Amino acid sequence: MLNGFLVLAVAVLSVLFLHNKQHRHHWLGIFILFIGILLVAIEAMINQEDSATKNAYLGVPLLIISIFLKSVQYIVEEKLLSSYYLHPMKVVGWEGILGTIFYIFLLIILQFIPCNAGMCSNGVVEDTGMAFNHLSRSAELVIYLILLIILDGGMNGLGLLVTKHASAANRVTLTQVRTIIIWLFFMIVPLIFNLRVRESFHYLELIGFIVIIAGVILYNEIVTIPYLGLDRNCKKNQNYVNLGTSSFQPRDFDADITAEDDEIFGHHSSFDFQSEPNTQSPKAEREPPTSLNNTFQQNRFVGRSSVYLAMTSHD
Question: In this predicted model, what pLDDT tens digit does every residue of 80-114 receive, in sequence order?
Answer: 999 999 999 999 999 999 999 999 999 999 999 98
pLDDT for residue 174 is more than 50 = yes
User: What pLDDT, on a 0 to 100 scale, did the predictor assign at position 119?
Assistant: 76
The per-residue pLDDT for 71 is 94
Torsion of CA 42, 47, 49, 50, to 10 degrees: 50
Please tell me the predicted confidence (pLDDT) of residue 194: 80
Select the more confidently predicted residue: 228 or 111.
111
Name 126's Cβ contacts closer than 8 Å, sequence gap at least 6.
Answer: 107, 110, 111, 120
The pLDDT of residue 33: 92
What whole-number percentage of the chain has pLDDT above 90? 38
Percentage with pLDDT > 70 across the chain: 71
Q: Does residue 261 carry a pLDDT above 70?
A: no
Contacts with 38 (C-beta within 8 Å, 6 or more apart), sequence order: 1, 4, 208
Q: Reply yes or no on whether the pLDDT at 73 is more than 70.
A: yes
Average pLDDT in the chain: 78
CA pair distance 174, 224, nearest whole angstrom:
17
pLDDT at 238 over 50: yes
pLDDT higher than 60, residue 273: no
**Pick from 48-57, 173-182, 257-266: least confident:** 257-266
Q: Looking at the predicted structure, is the pLDDT value of residue 252 above 90?
A: no
